[in-house]
A and B are shown apart, each in its own frame.
Chain A
Amino acid sequence: MTTIDSGRSTGPGPGEAAGTPVALTVDGRPVEVTDGATVLDACTAAGVETPTLCWAANLTPVNACRLCVVEQEGSRTLVPACSRLAEEGMVLHTDSERVRHSRKMVLEFLGSASELDQAPDLARWSAHYGADPGRYGPAGATMDEEVRVQDDLYIRDYDRCVLCYKCVEACGDDAQHTYAITMSGRGFGARISTEFDVTLPESACVYCGNCVAVCPTNALQFKTEFDLREAGSWRPDDQTVTRTVCSYCGVGCNLELHVQDETIVKVTSPDDHDVTSGHLCIKGRFGWGYVHGR
């Protein structure tokens, strides 16, 4: 048969009607978003940049870090922008004394217990709010552990972990549904762990690296990046990022090839592309060595 579809078969998916508009005020500016949008969306729509840490576009908000809090008139407590839904008539303040004070202390607490020098966004916000982690006395509450290097794919540096839950979410309900890791312990003993702290190959881990991709502090880090950093030759400013399509199965996952000195040094996926939403499998994320004859 030579018949082809003329395109008349095209139909829209259901449930794509435009949402109801919601009007609110951010820092004195009126702004309109659609029903279902968050306070964070409203801030963005108002042109206000909001610091986030545990939030990501491709994950469900878990309200772990409280960095994004804003002040809502009529609300006793500050509200997390990332998860609170925008409501008609809300009056929000993102730069009040309470908000600045809260964000500063969150950054100080995190900085006093974790190494944040590979989290450029946090360094920028710390400077912005004048955060001084040292004022809580000498650092000493970091895990102070050796970096865990168990294989050639990724490393775990617990000293950098801020317990934001992103890796747990990506491994679990939000993407991979593998559930290899979760939080264990309490207080200063809290940490991300496999079951009974077994090694990764002994755990349910399938090495998709989706936890690494969402980590905001480089506590989880691609081994290629780790090795280059150790050698003092990791130069993000000299890297190009090229979008292409994975060479393995027929799903058509979009890849971002990070290239330095004509060599691929890292592979990620754009979280704004609806095939992957930023997630990949072990082959797509790690299986590119053959391009360079490895």
Chain B
Amino acid sequence: MFGAGGGTSSYREIEETDVIVLWGSNAREAHPIFFHHLMKGLDNGARMYCIDPRRTSSSRFADAWLGLDVGTDIALANAVGREIIANDWHDRAFIDRATTGFDHYRAAVEPYTLDRAAAITGVPGEAIAELARAYATAEQAQILWTLGITEHHNAVDNVLALCNLALLTGHIGRWGSGLVPLRGQNNVQGGGDMGALPNKLPGFADIVDAEARARFEAVWEAPVPPEPGLHLTLMFEAMERGDLRAVYCIGENPADSEADVTNARKLLADLELLIVQDIFLTRTAELADVVFPASVAWAESDGTVTSSERRVQRVRAAVPPPGEARDDIDIIGELARRLDYDWGKPSPQDLWDELRSLSPLHRGMSWERLEAEGGLQWPCPDEDHPGSPFLHGWLWEPDLGGRQPAPFSVVEHAGPIEELSDEFPLRLTTGRALDSYNTGVQSGSLESPIRSGDTIDVSEADAARLGITAGMRVRVTSPRGSVEMPARIDPGLPEGLTFTTFHFPELVDVNQLTNDAWDKRSGTSEFKAASIRIEPLAAASPGSGPAAVVDGSGAGAGG
């Protein structure tokens, strides 16, 4: 956002902020140790507002839970913006100096009255007004989100709607105020930072920028393609067209994790060549022509990962890899050698130093400093620089540090692509549970005493109407597929909404149900909003299948 691909704030800041807006995130379960920092903030007197269709375990700690309908986040955000402006709570001086497009924004949110927003979102107007007042009048305030915002067909608009609120109030670029997307994987931030994006080079240099390419070409002694590549979703479309016929997949399990997974598996199986490099023989690896067994990056290899607060930290080898498994760097180097490129045997530190020579964000992070200082937060442009706890302080400089002002964005409400119908009358949304992780390849061996397996969670009202009891096996059907699973009754769900995790694809192939409609800008599928129907099969016999508990605490939300 505002030109840098990372969250703005440090964990320490949430301990000292005044208002916390947790939007589409069940951090209590999906980011438990971040939630420790958040709890310190609450213990220090901060107020918290949770915006989530489900009454999650995180929302139990909130001053207010705003239970909006799935996919109505923009209507809610725009109404908050309108309410702030109508009450003159916005920061005019900040808006004048540091932003553009305010008048367009004000005009665009004008129709989002409290009444209209309440009708769209299902959240009472008073609650929206209270959120607007609390956020805008706080000295310091943060908005935090995860996949409840980004796993939608209009993910980028959702994020922009939240950015607008920060620009409106000046809750950005200051200690304790910020916009914080919590990262779901241990190095998803680092992957982007290192250029594992189709349009970026390491350090977020633009691939279409000839000057940037020239810097990399000089060091790499090879031409860099001037056109952006494909992100995962576009790759699957290219496979569908037959344009993409060979795939080299490293540490990803799309044969279980993609939305509309039946189609994804067929496309992977039909490839002329599929190479998979992984620490497990995943379902994707089972489809592969060649499998490279890799070492475990955080316990069998040395390197770095980058966290949600942009902190680069060292990972270290503690045990030897088993059998023929090798370090990712070795495998890629060996492959290059077979293709007649001898890259030698660079150490992780050699590669890091090359990165530092090319990415000004990382230039000051010597390997020695990363060891000695317990990690450093980018940007860290030179070795005397302490690293940056928060971003965008330039918004508060008189001349904006010579930069362009930050633009407001006009975004409009657009509900889920898949509307509810008589045939598929229930909304299905997906997310994580505390003790499991993604497709379960890592967490599956954890013998968790609190695991209930993938269940279809239904509201008390829907359960009563459909004759579903706790633990009963049911058939869940979406326009794309149908699976059987046990039901669980969750009083934290509003009528019409159902929820499931996706951690046990061998048992319940949840992504047969999910919708692969996706945002053209982010490439993210709308995992959060499918339409389904549920049919009871038979009551569970004691001891068969996962236990179902009548309790709101077991399952987690948006990743």
A residues neighboring B (CB under 8 Å) = 1-15, 150-153, 173, 175-177, 200-201, 204-208, 240, 242-255, 257, 259, 262-264, 273-277, 279-284, 286-294
Contacts and interface: CB of A to CB of B under 8 A. Distances in A.
Contacts of B316: 242-244
Given A6-B381, A9-B390, 5 more contacts: A7-B379, A15-B16, A201-B449, A247-B186, A274-B12
Contacts of A288: 299
A8 B397 contact: yes
A289 B445 CA distance: 6
Closest 3 CB pairs of A and B: A252-B307, A250-B183, A9-B393
Contacts of A262: 319-320
A255 B31 CA distance: 15
A264 B299 contact: yes
A250 B188 contact: yes
B437 A207 contact: no
A244 B31 contact: no
Given A2-B204, A207-B435, A250-B189, A9 B443 contact: no
A40 B18 CA distance: 32
Given A244-B298, A257-B299, A177 B61 contact: yes
Contacts of B182: 249-251
A251 B185 CA distance: 8
B317 A173 contact: no
- A176, A250, A257 — most chain B CB neighbours (10 Å): A250
Which of A9, A15, A200, A277 is packed against the most chain B CB atoms within 10 Å?
A9
B485 to A, nearest CB: 21
Given A11-B390, A173-B43, A252 B379 contact: no
A208 B375 contact: no
Given A13-B389, A206-B434, A251 B33 contact: yes
Contacts of A176: 36
B434 A282 contact: yes
B298 A282 contact: no
A173 B36 CA distance: 10
Contacts of B501: none
A100 to B, nearest CB: 38
B32 A8 contact: no
A3 B11 CA distance: 24
B389 A2 contact: no
A247 B374 CA distance: 17
Contacts of A249: 30-31, 182-186, 437
Given A7-B388, A206-B434, A2 B209 contact: yes
22 contacts: A2-B212, A5-B4, A7-B381, A11-B389, A11-B393, A13-B16, A177-B36, A243-B316, A246-B186, A249-B437, A250-B31, A251-B34, A252-B306, A252-B308, A257-B318, A259-B318, A277-B36, A284-B33, A286-B448, A287-B446, A288-B299, A293-B322
Contacts of B333: none
B12 A13 contact: yes
A171 B336 CA distance: 51
Contact of B319 (A3, A206, A291): A291
B305 A245 contact: yes
Nearest to B438: A248
Contacts of A263: 319
A150 to B, nearest CB: 7
Chain B interface mostly helix, strand, loop or mixed? loop
A292 B299 CA distance: 10
A98 B12 CA distance: 42
Interface residues of B, number: 90
A200 B449 contact: yes
A245 B391 contact: no
B347 interface: no
Contacts of A13: 12-13, 16, 175, 389
Nearest to A262: B319
B311 A291 contact: no
A201 B450 contact: yes
Contact of A250 (B307, B320, B374): B307
A289 B446 contact: yes
B447 A279 contact: no
Given A5-B391, A201-B449, A14 B32 contact: no
A275 B12 CA distance: 8
A91 to B, nearest CB: 35
B420 interface: no
Interface string B187-227: 11100000000000001111001001000000000000000
A235 to B, nearest CB: 16
A253 B33 CA distance: 8
A281 B313 contact: no
A283 B318 contact: no
A192 to B, nearest CB: 18
B558 interface: no
Interface in B28-47: 30-34, 36, 39, 43
B60 to A, nearest CB: 10
B14 to A, nearest CB: 12
Nearest to B175: A13
Given A7-B388, A9-B392, A283-B443, A252 B186 contact: yes
A177 B13 CA distance: 19
A252 B436 CA distance: 17
B532 interface: no
A200 B450 CA distance: 9
Given A7-B385, A244-B318, A153 B449 contact: yes
A283 B319 contact: no
Contacts of A257: 299, 318-319
A246 B298 contact: yes
Nearest to A247: B298
B296 A282 contact: no
Nearest to A252: B307
A181 to B, nearest CB: 15
B447 A250 contact: no
A274 B182 CA distance: 17
A254 B437 contact: no
B548 interface: no
Contacts of B297: 247
Given A207-B448, A250-B186, A290 B388 contact: no
A151 B449 contact: yes
Nearest to A257: B318
A177 B39 contact: yes
A101 B174 CA distance: 54
A246 B443 CA distance: 12
B386 interface: yes
A263 B322 CA distance: 11
A1 B43 CA distance: 39
B374 A254 contact: yes
Given A7-B379, A9-B392, A251 B308 contact: yes
A171 to B, nearest CB: 12
B248 to A, nearest CB: 22
Given A177-B39, A250-B185, A4 B437 contact: no
Nearest to A274: B12
Interface in B283-338: 296-300, 305-309, 311, 313-320, 322
A8 B36 contact: no
B537 to A, nearest CB: 27
Contacts of B546: none
